[in-house]
Amino acid sequence: MYIIYGIKNCNTMKKAFTWLDDHHVSYQFHNYKTDGLSEELLDAFLQLIDWQSLLNTRGTTWRKLNESVRAEVNNTQTAKKIMLANPSILKRPLLIDGKRALLGFSEELYSQFISQSK
């Protein structure tokens, strides 16, 4: 079973949902806005992906942060603090198959990830 993490109204998420649906891949959706982001869940992500990859420093949530706050994010602990306070700052979608994770979306990467999971 796949779990896809993100925010429902994100355009990249919509592309990922469409691809999964079109390829008849069953998945569960975890919406950060409604389902939240616990420290335990974030720690599980960080077991699979480094914080530098998970933290979206190109998005509006990051840009809206005070520059002094952004400057403090230089290790796992400070990154976790920012991510827990602002789950929208996580790159998305995040697709997990239980033991592996895929961050972002492209048809080619999804196809490879799904075929390697079987």
Active-site hit among 3, 7, 10, 46? 10
**Known catalytic residue: 10?**
yes
CB 1 within 8 A of CB 81: no
CB 1 within 8 A of CB 98: yes
CB 4 within 8 A of CB 93: yes
- Looking at residue 5, its amino acid is Y
Residues acting as catalytic residues: 10
